[in-house]
Structure 1
Amino acid sequence: MLAFLMRRVVAAAAMLLVVGTIIFSLLMIVPGDPAELLLSTGGGSATPEAIANLRAEMGLDQPVWVQYADFLRNSLAFDFGRSIVDDGSISAAIALRLPRTLEIIIVGAVLALTLAIPAGTAAGLRAGGRFDIAASGLNALLTSVPGFVIGTLFIYFFAQTLGWLPAGGYVSFASNPGQHLQMLVLPALTVGLHLATIVFRMTRASVLEMRGHDWVRTATAKGLRRRLVVRRHILRNAMGPVITVVGLQLGILLGSTVLVEFVYNWPGLSGLLVTAVEQRDYPTVRAIILTVAALFIGINLVIDILSSLLDPRIRLK
């Protein structure tokens, strides 16, 4: 187990280095001088002195290898410098916004797993039955509806029509826990429904596949109770693919919650990324992409470890 863990950690570190190198190279590949592009925003022309000062401030006047070494060293220390738009600390902005995005993703994931795994298991065990047909039909309907449409419908139904929940906004948990939780429900539910459709399909397919294996038929023929057969022989083996899909989707959600945050006016990391792109704040964009990539790689590392615990054969591959 220790050797498997070390291999995965080394592979994750190598992948993070490759991603960081690619992200650093993007600034070098962009046509034109980034400093000149930034100072020319709005149609004005920048003086050579202003361009030279901004290049020195951004470190663009240094050799490429020096810039690369500084980038790696500062990234390891979570020091991404200052924004060239408002001169604020990029690390502080990410540290403020990232927990808000993670909050709706984690709560949405908990809701999705709580709903989709039992439903997918029941549908897989009773394939072709009434519940399977109804649940699969509802799942197909939810899959075809974009997240921002579901969010808009939630606002209309729960906020404007029934008045049960706020239509959007953000209040910190420390200042008002009750209002914070009320504002969290709809964004988390919107994210959770999208994830639930994927988890349901994977759980149902995995349970259907495991039902046909010899060990399940043998356990049933030996007279084991159905609940034990489902828990020990079907679900344990079916959860491997489900966990893998959940991990991939959590990583994807880190960069795809921008519409949900926009609909509910939730000040998360995705909104900061969109704003930085619009303002051509290259250091902030680079820092956010690197942070999301690091989280994605970290999530996949955790998924590999969990999968190896469920299926020890993975450690031998």
Structure 2
Amino acid sequence: MARSVISRLASALTMLFVVATLVFAIQVVIPGDPAELLLSSAGSTPTRENIEALRVEMGLDRPLAQQYAEFLWGAVRLDFGSSLIDNSSIGQTIAARLPRTLELIAVAMTIAVAVAVPFGTQAALRVGGRLDTAGSGVSAIFAAVPVFVIGTLLILLFAQTLKLTPAGGYADFVTAPMQHLTNLILPAVTVAMSIFPIIFRMTRSSVLDSLSNEWVRTALAKGLPRRAVVRRHVLRNALGPVVTVIGLQLGILLGSTVLVEFVFNWPGLSGYLVTAVEQRDYPTVRAIILVVAALFIFINLLIELLQMKLDPRVQL
């Protein structure tokens, strides 16, 4: 067990190092001078003096090896420097925005799992029944509709027509907890609806696969209650693939909530990344990509460790 954990931790750290190297290399191989591109984005032709001054500010005048070493050392210390646009601390801005995105993802995933796993389980236990048909139909619809369309429809229904929730915005939980929660409802439900089909289908498929095992039929033939067999054995064996899918979706949502944050004006990390790309704020873009990649790797590491707990055969 300990050897497996150490091995996976070493693999995660190696992957993080590779990602950091690739993030640094992207800026190096991009055609053109980043300083000149940034100054030219304002619509005017920059002078050579202005370009050189910005290159010094960005550290582009230093040897490539020194830039790489400083980038890695800064990443280890979580010191990503300052934004080229407003000179604000990139680390502080990420620290302020990241919890908002993580909160949105956590609430959305909780809603999706709380609905999709029980529905998927019951659909597998009653294949062809009304619940199975309804769940499959709903998941097909949610999978076909883009997330920004779902968000817009929810705004039209609950904010504009029924006037039950705000159309968007953000309020600090400490100063206005109820306003914060009401602002969170619609974006969280929107994200939950977008990932419901994947979790529902995987749960249904995994439970069906477990039910088809010989030992399940043997247990039922011996007279064990069906409910007990399902709860103690079938669900435990079916959880592995479901946990894997949930972990992958958590990682994907770190970068795919941008449309939801835009529709509901939720000031998270994804929107900050889009703004940084539009403004050619390269240090900010590098920092956000590195943070998201680190979180993705960390989430997958936790999922692997959880799978080892659920199924000791994974260690082999």
The one-letter amino acid of 2:33's match is D
Equivalents in 2 of 1:198, 1:46: separation in Å? 50
Residue of structure 2 equivalent to 1:69? 69
Cα distance, 1:12 vs. partner? 0.2
The one-letter amino acid of 1:282's match is Y
Matched, 1:242 2:235: no
Deviations 1:185-211 (A, max 9, x none): 000011111111110000000011111
Deviations 1:17-76 (A, max 9, x none): 001100000000111111111112233122222211111111111111111111111001
Matched, 1:287 2:287: yes
Deviations 1:263-308 (A, max 9, x none): 1011111110010000000000010000000000000000000011
Equivalents in 2 of 1:38, 1:314: separation in Å? 49
Equivalents in 2 of 1:131, 1:107: separation in Å? 25
Residue of structure 2 equivalent to 1:133? 133
- In the superposition, the TM-score normalised over structure 1's length comes to 0.98
Deviations 1:207-262 (A, max 9, x none): 11111101111211222221211112111011100000110111111001011011
Residue of structure 2 equivalent to 1:312? 312
Equivalents in 2 of 1:229, 1:66: separation in Å? 61
Cα distance, 1:310 vs. partner? 0.7
| Aligned positions of 1:68-107 closer than 5 A | 68-107=68-107
- Secondary structure, in 3 states, of the residue corresponding to 1:70? helix
- Secondary structure, in 3 states, of the residue corresponding to 1:60? coil
| Aligned positions of 1:154-173 closer than 5 A | 154-173=154-173
Equivalents in 1 of 2:6, 2:246: separation in Å? 23
Residue of structure 2 equivalent to 1:194? 194
Residue of structure 1 equivalent to 2:213? 213
- Secondary structure, in 3 states, of the residue corresponding to 1:86? coil
Equivalents in 1 of 2:87, 2:42: separation in Å? 19
Query: What RMSD in Å do the two structures reach over aligned CA positions?
Result: 0.8
Cα distance, 1:123 vs. partner? 0.3
Tell me if the contact between 1:55 and 1:61 (Cα under 8 Å) persists in the aligned partners. yes
Equivalents in 2 of 1:50, 1:138: separation in Å? 57
Equivalents in 2 of 1:215, 1:53: separation in Å? 72
Gaps of 5+ in 2: none
Deviations 1:75-128 (A, max 9, x none): 011100000011000001100111111111000000001000000000011111
Equivalents in 1 of 2:196, 2:32: separation in Å? 44
* Count of matched residue pairs: 316
Residue of structure 2 equivalent to 1:47? 47
Residue of structure 1 equivalent to 2:229? 229
Cα distance, 1:4 vs. partner? 0.7
Residue of structure 1 equivalent to 2:60? 60
Residue of structure 2 equivalent to 1:34? 34
Residue of structure 2 equivalent to 1:111? 111
- Secondary structure, in 3 states, of the residue corresponding to 1:158? helix
Tell me if the contact between 1:112 and 1:196 (Cα under 8 Å) persists in the aligned partners. yes
The one-letter amino acid of 2:151's match is G
- In the superposition, the TM-score normalised over structure 2's length comes to 0.99
The one-letter amino acid of 2:265's match is N
Q: Which runs of 4+ in 1 moved over 4 A?
A: none
Tell me if the contact between 1:215 and 1:233 (Cα under 8 Å) persists in the aligned partners. no
Gaps of 5+ in 1: none
The one-letter amino acid of 1:179's match is Q
- Secondary structure, in 3 states, of the residue corresponding to 1:249? helix
Q: Percent of aligned pairs with the same residue?
A: 61
Equivalents in 2 of 1:61, 1:228: separation in Å? 69
Equivalents in 1 of 2:117, 2:141: separation in Å? 18
